[in-house]
């Protein structure tokens, strides 16, 4: 019986990673359908395995109850919003996870989207496709005020990429990092101040109960009419109905989004707005990031930890104790 279930299509799409995983775990079972599994189908695939490599599969209490033999999850990427961490603790399931593994891929795309939105590239592209040939007047990034909401691995990496542009940097984060802020001449401010003073607002925080819809109609109304909003973090942080209204009514100048509440996003009234640049959650979709994330997953199949509240600042676990016993104790970190 195989003990490793590879749910994520990641390893089927990339033969190099599949070969590396098989070298470490020769009896691994792969999801070769190239689609995300959910519900009963996910449970059926996980049955009989004590470890799993997952991507965006929703791992909740029902899954853990149905597959009690599952004792470790190795997560591709950095987002934990598809995992019920409290249920993992209750059921004694360890998590293998490497935060920040795809930071350069996401920060580079963020920079390109900031420039796209400021220069109205999305508007020009839409007009050209519709037979309209005219020069749109945008704004340069150099010297502008950039507000970074969430200054973790990706936010910090973006700061390095912004340095040549001489931007004034504002930051809002639930965690304070005064040494980093001082080193990079950043000013820590409240969210309202950041929104009202920034020419660019870029989001780099996890989706949690506290961050869901944190940017709504009121917050968008605080922004400059010339400002742009960039979201490569998670769908759900921005109220999409409010965003649609703000773009339609020129409350803000433009937006560039890689993530949406539902993916694929089916709101054509939003997606076809000329001042929205939209993509299909490609922040980590570079060859280099895919290889790095895949190799981290392979390592983490033998390096699980009990989920820790410090990973998500506003998460307060309901259960803080668990006992996990895996056949190979030497490869599991219970720290």
Catalytic residues, by residue number, are 234, 263, 281
If we measure between CA atoms, which residue out of 146, 153, 190, 150 comes closest to residue 169? 146
Rounded CA gap, 104 and 286, in Å? 10
Orientation of helix 287-300 relative to helix 15-24, angle to 10° = 10
* Angle value at C-alpha 303, between 294 and 309, nearest 5 degrees: 100
Q: Identify the residue whose tokens are 């959910």.
A: 38
Q: How many Cβ atoms are within 10 Å of 29's Cβ, its own excluded?
A: 18
Q: Identify the residue whose tokens are 């029902």.
A: 62
Residue 101, token pair as written in the block: 């593994």
Beta strands 168-172 and 145-149 are parallel
If we measure between CA atoms, which residue out of 301, 335, 236, 332 comes closest to residue 2? 301
Rounded CA gap, 224 and 27, in Å? 56
- Output b/e per residue, 81-105; b: 16+ Cβ within 10 A: bbbbbbbbbbbbbbbbbbbebbbbb
Q: What are phi and psi of 197, to 5 degrees?
A: -100, -15
Residue 74, token pair as written in the block: 């190795």
If we measure between CA atoms, which residue out of 266, 270, 263, 267 comes closest to residue 247? 270
Rounded CA gap, 307 and 122, in Å? 40
Rounded CA gap, 37 and 19, in Å? 22
Q: How many Cβ atoms are within 10 Å of 136's Cβ, its own excluded?
A: 12
């Amino acid at each position: 019986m195989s003990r490793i279930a590879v749910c994520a299509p990641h390893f089927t799409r990339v033969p190099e990673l599949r070969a590396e995983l098989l070298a470490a775990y020769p009896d691994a079972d792969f999801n070769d359908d190239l689609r995300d599994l959910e519900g009963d189908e996910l449970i059926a695939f996980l049955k009989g395995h004590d470890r799993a490599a997952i991507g965006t599969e929703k791992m909740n209490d029902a899954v853990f109850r149905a597959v009690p033999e599952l004792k470790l999850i190795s997560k591709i990427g950095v987002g934990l919003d598809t995992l019920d961490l409290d249920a993992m603790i209750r059921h004694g399931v360890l998590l293998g996870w490497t935060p920040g593994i795809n930071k350069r891929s996401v920060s580079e795309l963020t920079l390109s989207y900031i420039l796209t939105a400021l220069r109205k590239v999305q508007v020009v592209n839409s007009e050209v496709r519709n037979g309209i040939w005219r020069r749109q007047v945008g704004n340069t990034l150099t010297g502008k005020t950039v507000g970074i909401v969430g200054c973790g691995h990706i936010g910090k990496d973006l700061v390095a990429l912004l340095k040549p542009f001489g931007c004034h940097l504002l930051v809002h984060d639930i965690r304070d990092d005064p040494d980093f802020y001082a080193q990079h001449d950043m000013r820590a401010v409240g969210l309202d101040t950041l929104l009202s003073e920034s020419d660019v607002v870029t989001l780099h925080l996890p989706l949690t109960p506290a961050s869901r819809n944190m940017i709504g109609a009121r917050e968008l109304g605080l922004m400059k009419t010339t400002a742009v909003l960039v979201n490569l973090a998670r769908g759900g942080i921005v109220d999409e109905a409010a965003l649609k209204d703000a773009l339609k009514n020129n409350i803000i100048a433009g937006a560039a989004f890689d993530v949406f509440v539902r993916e694929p996003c089916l709101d054509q009234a939003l997606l076809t707005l000329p001042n929205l640049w939209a993509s299909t959650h490609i922040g980590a979709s570079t060859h280099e990031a895919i290889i790095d994330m895949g190799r981290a997953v392979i390592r983490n199949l033998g390096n699980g930890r009990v989920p820790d509240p410090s990973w998500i600042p506003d998460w307060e676990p309901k259960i803080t104790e668990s006992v996990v016993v895996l056949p190979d104790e030497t490869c599991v970190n219970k720290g």
